[in-house]
């Protein structure tokens, strides 16, 4: 079942990159938790939007939409590169990097090799949690390097 979870998460990410948000939200549980933690909360050095504008946890579909609206106010031309998907049973660990350009400043920034843990239950993504690096994500998923 867990290899199916890896394929499922990969398909959701691809749908998101194509802008097929109806498919993305169909994969999300209505009560999904989008947990930024230290892995995705922009540092004040990188943030074009004050860090206080971001919540630690966004809940439900509307919460995720609110996160992306706040994020889009700060950044334009995002490019996400998924480097690795790791099977951890009901959790899929993804390692990715992103490049963005500040909407107001035009300054380009790169966040390298941070991680997301995608938790799947009953065929839906119920939680996405961000981590600053692979090791912390693996530990949270019950795996080691």
pLDDT in tens, 52-72: 467 789 999 999 999 888 888
19 pLDDT higher than 80? yes
Residue (of 15, 57, 53) closest to 34 by Cα position = 57
Longest dimension (CA), the chain: 45
CATH number at residue 82: 3.10.450.50
- Tell me how far apart the alpha carbons of residues 5 and 7 are, in angstroms, rounded to a whole number: 5
Can you give the pLDDT at residue 41? Answer: 46
The answer for residues whose C-beta is within 8 angstroms of residue 120's C-beta and 6 or more apart is 5, 8, 9, 90, 91, 92, 126
Number of domains in the chain: 1
Residue range 97-134, pLDDT digits in tens: 988 888 888 888 888 889 999 999 999 999 999 999 99
Which contacts (CB < 8 Å, 24+ apart) does range 94-99 have? 94/9, 94/13, 94/118, 95/134, 95/137
Tell me what pLDDT residue 36 has.
87
Decide if 129 contacts 37 (C-beta within 8 A). yes
Q: 91 is in which domain, residue-wise?
A: 2-135
Assigned domain for 143 exists:
no
- Of 35-44, 86-95, 120-129, the poorest mean pLDDT is in 35-44
């Amino acid at each position: 079942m867990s290899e199916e979870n890896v394929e499922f998460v990969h398909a959701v990410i691809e749908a998101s990159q194509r802008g097929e948000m109806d498919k993305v939200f169909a994969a999300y549980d209505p009560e999904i938790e989008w947990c930024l933690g230290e892995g995705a909360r922009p540092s004040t050095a990188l943030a074009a939007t004050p860090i206080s504008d971001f919540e630690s946890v966004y809940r439900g579909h509307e919460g995720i939409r609110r996160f992306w609206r706040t994020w889009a106010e700060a950044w334009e031309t995002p490019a996400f590169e998924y480097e690795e998907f790791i099977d951890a049973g009901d959790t899929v660990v993804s390692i990715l990097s992103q490049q963005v350009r500040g909407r107001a400043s035009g300054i380009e920034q790169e966040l390298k090799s941070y991680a997301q843990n995608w938790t799947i239950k009953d065929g839906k993504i119920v939680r996405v949690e961000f981590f600053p690096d692979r090791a912390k994500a693996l530990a949270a998923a019950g795996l080691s390097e």
